[in-house]
A and B are shown apart, each in its own frame.
Chain A
Amino acid sequence: GAGVSQSPSNKVTEKGKDVELRCDPISGHTALYWYRQSLGQGLEFLIYFQGNSAPDKSGLPSDRFSAERTGGSVSTLTIQRTQQEDSAVYLCASSLVGSGAYEQYFGPGTRLTVT
């Protein structure tokens, strides 16, 4: 079946602009995660959705970052007033259920470059 998909695959934006990144999880997966992979920091957790519960936003680096998940499926990560340090690959993953004790399936990522 279809895996996790993300769009766009690449995004170049000017500093100060807002960007939206999209994630389509595997059908039937209730848990959805956003991660960021940058050269200096490695992989880091951003936000986690489990079903209809309130998301775990503990990894978001600033209030410029927000995410929503509509209808328990597609998720959008929004970065407002982008900064150069936001340049990274943003990865989405989904799993059947959450808790970190279930296999996660990763999307191909969106490479964000802020100029």
Chain B
Amino acid sequence: KNEVEQSPQNLTAQEGEFITINCSYSVGISALHWLQQHPGGGIVSLFMLSSGKKKHGRLIATINIQEKHSSLHITASHPRDSAVYICAVGGVAGGGADGLTFGKGTHLIIQP
């Protein structure tokens, strides 16, 4: 069973700061997902990646398959970025289909 560790668990920053959230996992995977959940809200998929780097607006996600590690970066953070960010891994490398295994999430607060 894959273990997914996220850090930090909680993060408070000032508007405009550069934010980094880290995720590590224990078993090779097919893909890693970054999800966002606003308080009382649903879950939205931000990125799905299996190698390299993806960018969407102010969000950047990177993954290092050899080190089993991914980072989510937020540039020029804004109060509306305040949410829980969840790392999840899917699919066992080499085959097999299963559901996602989730990290415990990073609760991010951006203060104006």
Seen from chain A, the residues whose Cβ lies within 8 Å of a Cβ on chain B are 33, 35, 42-48, 50, 56, 58-59, 91, 93, 98-109
Q: If A42-B104, A43-B86, A43-B88 touch, does A100 touch B43 (CB 8 Å cutoff)?
A: no
Task: Please state if A106 and B100 are interface contacts (CB–CB under 8 Å).
Answer: no
Q: If A42-B105, A43-B86, A43-B88 touch, does A100 touch B100 (CB 8 Å cutoff)?
A: yes
Q: List 24 A-B contacts (CB under 8 A).
A: A33-B99, A33-B100, A42-B105, A43-B86, A43-B100, A43-B105, A45-B98, A45-B100, A45-B101, A47-B99, A48-B98, A50-B97, A56-B99, A100-B29, A100-B30, A100-B91, A100-B97, A100-B98, A100-B100, A103-B48, A104-B33, A104-B90, A106-B45, A108-B42
Which of B45, B88, B97, B101 has most A Cβ within 10 Å? Answer: B97
Task: Please state if B86 and A56 are interface contacts (CB–CB under 8 Å).
Answer: no
Q: If A42-B105, A100-B89 touch, does A56 touch B45 (CB 8 Å cutoff)?
A: no
Taking the closest CB of chain A, its distance from the CB of B7, in whole angstroms, is 15
Which of B42, B102, B105 has most A Cβ within 10 Å? Answer: B42
CB contacts (< 8 Å) of A105 on chain B: these are 45
Task: Please state if A101 and B99 are interface contacts (CB–CB under 8 Å).
Answer: no
Taking the closest CB of chain A, its distance from the CB of B6, in whole angstroms, is 10
Task: Please state if B29 and A104 are interface contacts (CB–CB under 8 Å).
Answer: no
Task: Please state if A109 and B42 are interface contacts (CB–CB under 8 Å).
Answer: yes
Seen from chain B, the residues whose Cβ lies within 8 Å of a Cβ on chain A are 29-31, 33, 35, 42-45, 48, 50, 86, 88-91, 96-105
How many residue pairs, one in A and one in B, have C-beta atoms under 8 Å apart?
Answer: 71
CB contacts (< 8 Å) of B97 on chain A: these are 48, 50, 56, 98-100
Which of A42, A43, A50 has most B Cβ within 10 Å? Answer: A43
CB contacts (< 8 Å) of A93 on chain B: these are 43
Task: Please state if A35 and B99 are interface contacts (CB–CB under 8 Å).
Answer: yes
Q: If A101-B31, A105-B45, A108-B42 touch, does A58 touch B91 (CB 8 Å cutoff)?
A: no
Taking the closest CB of chain B, its distance from the CB of A91, in whole angstroms, is 7
Q: If A100-B31, A100-B90, A100-B91 touch, does A107 touch B42 (CB 8 Å cutoff)?
A: yes
Q: If A100-B90, A100-B91, A106-B43 touch, does A35 touch B100 (CB 8 Å cutoff)?
A: yes
